[in-house]
Each structure stands twice: as C-alpha cells, then as structure tokens.
Amino acid sequence: MSSRPTVQTPADPRALPMTLPLLMEKKRLGDPLVMVTAYDYPSARAAQSAAVDLVLVGDSAATTVLGHSATTPVELDEMLMLARAVRRGLSTPLLIGDLPFGSYEVSDEQAITTAMRMVKEAGCEAVKLEGGGEASVRRARAIIGAGIPVMGHVGLTPQTATALGGWKAQGRSASAARKIAAEALALQEAGCFALVFEAIPSAVTTELMTLLEIPVIGIGAGPATDGQVLVFHDLLGIRDGLGARFVKRYANLQQEMNNGVGAYAEDVRARRYPGPEHGYSIDPAELAELRNGLRS
C-alpha cells in the first residue's frame, strides 16, 4: 500500500500562486513567462485577470504615473506606497519591487534595509536591482543572504542610462556583449533567481541564453528569452508618442481617456449633463415642508 499523499491540482494551473520553484519548472518545460509592470490597484487587477506570472512595481512609475522625465527621481516611500496598492490587487502573480535609484548603492546595509522594507511594508515577494557590475553584484548577494530573492537587470539599465550613452540598445559590439555576459553570469552566481535583459540584440540574447540556468525575462531582447515584460502604460497606450522600438501597443487608452473627458466637459458646458436620470427625488410633501420652512 502506497503512503504517497494525493496531490490535488486545480483545473486551471494559472490558479496556482507563482513561486520560485514553479518559475524554474516553467523554464524547464519551456512555458513562456509573462511579466508586466503595475503601479496601482486597477493595473494590478488587470494583471491578475490576465493571469500573468510576475508583476513588477517598476521605478518606471517615475515617468508613467509621477510625471518625471527619468526614473531616477522616484523616492523609496513613493515606491512603497505604489507597491502596497498593487499588493491589494494580486493573489497569484509573484510581486517584485524595484529598488529605486539611491536606495541600495551606498552599502550592503542600505540595500538590505531597503529590500526588507519592500517585503515587510509593501508585501513584495522579491526585489529587483539594476546593473551587473561589482557593486550591484555585492548588493544582490547581500540581499539574498538576508533571505530576500533578487531579480537582476542587465543591458540597458534606465537608472544609469546617462552613463551608458543614453536610452539605446546595449551589447552591439563583441566586447560590449561579452561585458553583458559577464554581468549576467556574475548575478546568477550571486544567487539571483531571474534576470531581465533589456534592449539587447536578439542574436546576442540567443548566444547568452545558452550560458544561463535561471529564467531570463526580455524587453527588447528578442524571442529567445524565457519570457517577456512590458510597461503597463506602453502596452495599453496610456502615454503620448509611440515609445521604444520594442513596444507593441495593444490598446490606445490615452486617446480613449482624452475622448471621454472631452465629451464630459462638452456635456457640462452645454448643460446636457446632469440629466433627470442622474438626480435623486424627494417626496412632494417633504419638498413643500422644506419650502415653507425656508420662507419662514
């Protein structure tokens, strides 16, 4: 007689909460990983509805929802507030919090403290930091040593885009591609559970994937990665302009919002809104009593 327990699996595997072992299993099976950014409760609910695997509260919030021209101005307290809102909207995707610029570079102690706040105060299950240089690898190793999973990020790293020569593809020469390979391997060796490849030539990504054992999520890095990520506002068109070359727009919500608010403004100015159907009634006797009271 077997003593093995019976494992009950849900009819829809997407109903399982995403965990790090499940993430590795999906990589092993070749199941594409879906990742998206979110910055508030409604965007989190959209991610949950789509049953995505991973949700990143990205420092791209600086440009998408806070009105900055770069990601560097966003503060840790702002990121924590946004992450708490996203947490309330999720039940199954793995929630990852971006460590904003200036919140982890100074020392291992600062990095650990920031990561702990992301976990304790916002409910994140992992954090992400940018760069694969010596300092970033040390910070990643320290945070992982404190018991918090870390996602690395190589290629175009927006927090240091100025040092990289601007917002442009990285690894377009053999030496630059070797540098990205070295950074990716260093982050893997440090214990990162996954990596983001951003704005890297597709052919370079294909070569680098043969070296890596952990899941790789691409954004502008071609189809060879284990999964893809897009910024919520980019994929839904909640922004002006077309965005980066790698963005595929699945909706044009900014224009829809503009049209909706414009139609509302026109109705108010033309006194078409509110109409009788938008108001509340009062009993005629009560109204008469009110009138008499106001006259006296």
The residues that are catalytic are 198
Residue located via tokens 């699945």: 250
Half-sphere exposure of 80 (CA within 13 A, CB side): 14
Q: Closest Cα partner for 64 from 258, 252, 259, 240?
A: 240
* CB distance 37 to 60 below 8 Å: yes
